[in-house]
Amino acid sequence: MKNLKYLVLGVLFGIILTKSEVISWFRIQEMFRFQAFHMYGVIGSAIVVGMLSIQLIKRNRLRTINGEEIKLADKKYNHGTWIGGTIFGLGWALTGACPGPLFAQLGSGVASAAVLILAALAGTWTYSALRERLPL
Amino acid sequence: MLELLRQPWPWYVAGPLIGLTVPALLLVGNKALGISSSLRHVCAACVPAGIPFLNYNWRAEIWNLWFVLGIGLGGYVGYQLLGHPDTIAISAETVRDLKAQMGLTDFSGLLPRELFALENLANWKGWVFLVLGGFLVGFGTRYAGGCTSGHAISGLSNLQWVSLVAVIAFFVGGLLMTWVFYPMMF
């Protein structure tokens, strides 16, 4: 089953998010109020390790386990980058969760996370429906 | 060892492990870490409604849904099986401010019950925190083309300036909510 490896990586990712408490609304408030280093440490060190890993992959032209060339797509800018980004930020501070933590919260047994995920799906659906009429 | 795993993990353990997810996904299948796309795939699979942006072969991206299912299972393992404190040890200043500014009294669990309990859907608080909050997360991430994982971690790791703009915007939004809109609500 070729998708099993993504399931396993997802489980590990979910455990890390949960055990480091970044799925907690309280931790996100602490971050936006600049009252602890925890969240900055988690995100910052994740970026540093990710950056070093990508440099290693690029410099050594590493391939996937199936021998494919590793390709990284460039992110494209449009006005949605900052408008949508700000909208997400407002929601991030309200819910105390970005999409990954929402799924981890649901698994941890927080019933409200089901409502948050349904609302997030409604948000994504509404964006999709309005997309052509929004500034890009 | 198990006792150590059962404690909350410090940032210098969790952060690097999250960072390693980026090369792990690339090496096992050429996939870029990103979670908010899963919301789009679910919309495309369940309610495409003839919307062009939802009309694509979501099955080709099914790995993402398996990854997200894994995150949910990981939440169960990490919280229910590996133990958790009743109250998260946030800083004393945050506790003080949340009490004084938002009137919170119950600091147990992952989210404050006083804001997120399902019964709150009977009043404005529940609608703002549960429904509007979730909606803005789903709307904003797709509009921005990614969330904390796709832009902050994956994008910045690959030195994408677009992701830097996005992450700054995430913070502008979060700070506006925390410092401007919360004081207006409470």
Prediction ipTM score: 0.96
Within a 10 A sphere around the Cβ of B133, how many other Cβ atoms?
28
CA-CA-CA-CA torsion sign (B168, B172, B174, B175): positive
| B107 part of contact set with chain A, CB < 8 Å | yes
| B131 part of contact set with chain A, CB < 8 Å | yes
What integer pLDDT is reported at residue B161 of this predicted model?
Answer: 96
φ, ψ dihedrals at A101, nearest 5°: -55, -30
Closest CA to A73 of B33, B170, B122: B33
Cα–Cα distances in angstroms (integers) from residue B135 to residues B15, B122, B148, in the given order = 27, 18, 16
Of all residues in chain B, the percent with pLDDT exceeding 90 is 96
d(CA B112, CA B186): 15
d(CA A20, CA B26): 23
pLDDT (mean) for B72-93:
96
Closest-approach residue (CA) in chain A for B171: A89
What integer pLDDT is reported at residue A136 of this predicted model?
Answer: 82
| A79 part of contact set with chain B, CB < 8 Å | no
d(CA B75, CA B118): 20
Eight-class DSSP state of A23: T
Cβ separation A119–B130 shorter than 8 A:
yes
What integer pLDDT is reported at residue A20 of this predicted model?
Answer: 97
* SS (HEC) of A1-12: CCCHHHHHHHHH
pLDDT (mean) for B136-144:
98
| A41 part of contact set with chain B, CB < 8 Å | yes
What integer pLDDT is reported at residue A82 of this predicted model?
Answer: 97
Cβ separation A14–B147 shorter than 8 A:
no
Count the alpha carbons within 13 Å of B140 in the hemisphere toward its beta carbon.
Answer: 32
Structure token digits, residue B169? 């915007």
Supply the mean pLDDT for chain B. 96
pLDDT (mean) for B177-182:
98
What integer pLDDT is reported at residue B1 of this predicted model?
Answer: 79
- Distance in Å, alpha carbon of B145 to nearest chain A alpha carbon: 7
Q: Is A122 helix (H, G, I), strand (E, B) or coil?
A: helix
What integer pLDDT is reported at residue A2 of this predicted model?
Answer: 87
pTM of the predicted protein model: 0.96
pLDDT (mean) for B28-52:
96
Across the interface, of B47, B93, B174, the residue whose CB is closest to A93 is B174
Ranges of residues in chain A with a pLDDT under 70 are none
- pLDDT confidence tier of residue B4, bands split at 50, 70 and 90: confident
Q: Is the separation of the CB atoms in B146 and B163 below 8 Å?
A: yes
pLDDT of residue B56 exceeding 90: yes
d(CA B72, CA B51): 28
Across the interface, of B116, B140, B157, the residue whose CB is closest to A112 is B116
Q: In chain A, which among 45-74 make CB contacts under 8 A with chain B?
A: 45-51, 53-54, 56-57, 62, 64-66, 68, 70-74
Q: Is the separation of the CB atoms in B140 and B40 below 8 Å?
A: no
